Structure formats: structure tokens, C-alpha cells
Amino acid sequence: MSSDQQYPYGQHDQQQPAPYPYQDPYQQGQGHHQDAHQAPQTPYQDPAATQTWQGDTWDTQYQPVVQAAHQTGAPAETAYVPQHMASHPLPPEAPAAYEPQQQPPAPAVGPDGYSPPTTGGNARITDAQRARAEGRSPIIAPGMQPAGLTAALGLLLAAGAAVGPYALLVPLVLLQADTAAGWFRLNGMWPARQGIALAFAGGLAADAALLVTGKEHAPAAIIGALGVWVLLTLVLQLRSHAGADERMYGLMATVVSAALAILATGHLAAAGEAVTVGSVAVAVAVLARALPLPGAGSVAVSLLAAAGSGVAAGALTGIGAGGALLGLAAGVCALIGLRVASYDYPSRFVHMTAGVALPLTAAAPAVYLLGRALV
């Protein structure tokens, strides 16, 4: 009978027997392997060892037989210990040396009072959040090169509108493709080939519906295409196996991108004279906005340039003084599109897509509505 059965739990310290000569706790297990005619060997006795109970024990801190064998270097003289019951003492823990925590160096402050942008820190926050935390603005204007591309595309729209609807269709398709790709990249979703293709297909469907039904049914064609594509986007997102948050982000981005691509069809639905005036006004407005001028001064100069170009283009197309109002409205919409493309610390790809397309796309409703009123 083992010691755990002889003495109940909690009575080991109260009922300790008198000390007796040291015996190997595994002596009994060895007896089964010894020859009957061979005398048992005397186990190694450690005089400094503490008396322990005979039998199995839960003490994992001290194993006298194995420890003595390692200390004396005489494993052959010790009793046989089964491999599954042998244990080794843990090495002593060395005290860790105290090392003072090093503080990161303070960032250098530039002449404008703000520190330079950093790439370290919390990886979960966006560049715009880090810019706000460091006192920098997350708004970055596209610049002169995207403004030049916008102006070139606007002049193509103006020239196509002067020729006819099918000539206008070529630069309009480029505008819709650029709008669909730029909106997804502006929202941080790239690559998103299925969403971009779906939004672009919505714009093409609106163009086809408008060409089939005619300009007199333009609102029905545009709104109908928009409704069908919103429903199609909902069905596709419901079949997605992504998480709930990712599906919601994809749904909103696809719906807005398709809506913008379909909204650009307003250039095809508007009168040709209005498209010419509005496209020229947008081209002049974005070029003036890209000039190195103060913020409020740049906006004022841009709007004045849009109104002046509207007057000039209106005189050429027969709209007359109403071209100033149309040019001013198109210039305001173009600045709104530039502001959207400049938000949230955009990349160069955003500037070359959304920064090029959004000014012209945002001006499509104003061109269509004011064109119907003035022409």
C-alpha cells in the first residue's frame, strides 16, 4: 500500500514516522528485473539528502537519486530508475539584468511647426488618421498633371458634343471607366476588378438605353439603369462569402461607383451646346485650381475663370450670357469633385483616376439641368 493510501491528504505533516535509513523509492520496481540468485545492490545514499516518503510522490522539485547521480557523476552505482518515472531538476534561474527602457527620439520639427510624416507606429490606423495625429492635413490636391488630363478630356467632350452623340460617346466611355476605377481606389479597395467592371457596365447600359430611347426619355433611362444596377449589386453581395463588414464596404463602394458612372451619362443626355460650355468651363476651372495660389484665392480665381470661359463658349455656341451661369455651376461641381479626390491622403493612382474623372462627372447634372433651361 502506498503512502497516499496509508495517510490521508493533509496528514503527512502531522503524522511523520521516525527517521529510518534511506531506501531507494524505486527499489521495489527493480526487484522484478533482478535475478533471483543475484544479491541486490546497495543503492547510493546521499548523507545530505532529506528523508522522503517511500512510494510515489507529487514532489517535482527534488529527486534525490537522480540529482545525486548528476552531482557525483556515478550513474552506474545508482539504482535503476524507469525512464518514464525519471525526472531532472530544472536549472536555476539567473536574475535578469535591469535594462532601462529606451525612449524613442523626439521627431524633428520643421519650419512650419509640424514634424515630418512617419511610417511607423500603429499599423491599424490609416495614413489620414496618422496625419491628423501629427497635425498634418489629409487633403492633398491632385496637382497640375491630373488637371491637364482633365482639361484634355473636357475638350474631347466639348468637341464630341459639337459633332454629334456618337462622337461624344467615345470620350464619355473613357470618363465612365476612369470614374469607376478611381472611386474604388479612392475608398482603398484595390484590386476590385469585379466591382469596377460592374460599375462600368452600369454606365454602358445607361448609354445604350439613352441612345435607344432618345434624349426625351433621358431621366427614365438613367434612373432605370441606376435602379437595375443597385438591385444587381445587392444580389451579388448577398451571394458573397466575405464577412459582414467587408460585404457592406463592397456594397456601398459598388453602388456609389455605378451611380457615378451612370450619372456621367448626363453629358450624353444634355444638349450639345450645354456640354460644350460645361466641359470648357470644367477644363479651365481645374487648371486655375492647380495654380500655386492661396486656398481662398485659388477657389475664387477658379470660379471666375469658369464663368469667363462659360461666357466665351456661350457666345460661340449661341447660348449667350447664360453661358456664364452654366460655366459657374460647372466650375462649382468641378471643385467639389476635386475636393473629393483630394480627401483622405490619396495616392498618385487616385489622382490620375478619380482626380481626372470626378470634376467632369460631378458637372454632368448641372450641364443637363441648366442646358435644358437655357437651350
86 pLDDT exceeds 90?
no
User: What pLDDT score was predicted for residue 319?
Assistant: 87
Find the angle CA(298)-CA(304)-CA(308) to the nearest 5 degrees.
140
* Separation between Cα atoms, residue 88 and residue 250, nearest integer Å: 59
How crowded is the C-beta side of 188, counted as CA atoms within 13 Å? Answer: 8
pLDDT band for 97, please (50, 70, 90 cuts): low
User: What pLDDT score was predicted for residue 188?
Assistant: 78
Average pLDDT for 51-57: 52
pLDDT per position as a tens digit, 163-194: 999 999 999 999 999 999 999 988 877 667 88
The 8-class DSSP code of residue 90 comes to: P
100 pLDDT exceeds 80?
no
Nine-digit cell string for 121: 507606429
User: What pLDDT score was predicted for residue 31?
Assistant: 46
Residues sharing a CB contact under 8 Å with residue 365, sequence separation 6 or more, in sequence order:
263, 266, 333
Length of the chain: 375
Is this prediction's pTM over 0.75?
A: no
- Classify 340 in phi/psi space as left (phi over 0), alpha (psi -120 to 50) or beta: alpha
254 pLDDT exceeds 70?
yes
330 pLDDT exceeds 50?
yes
Nine-digit cell string for 17: 514516522
User: What pLDDT score was predicted for residue 46?
Assistant: 53
Average pLDDT for 252-275: 94
Residue 89 near residue 67, CB atoms below 8 Å = yes
pLDDT per position as a tens digit, 226-253: 999 999 988 888 887 778 888 888 889 9
Q: Backbone phi, then psi, for 339, in 5-degree steps?
A: -65, -40
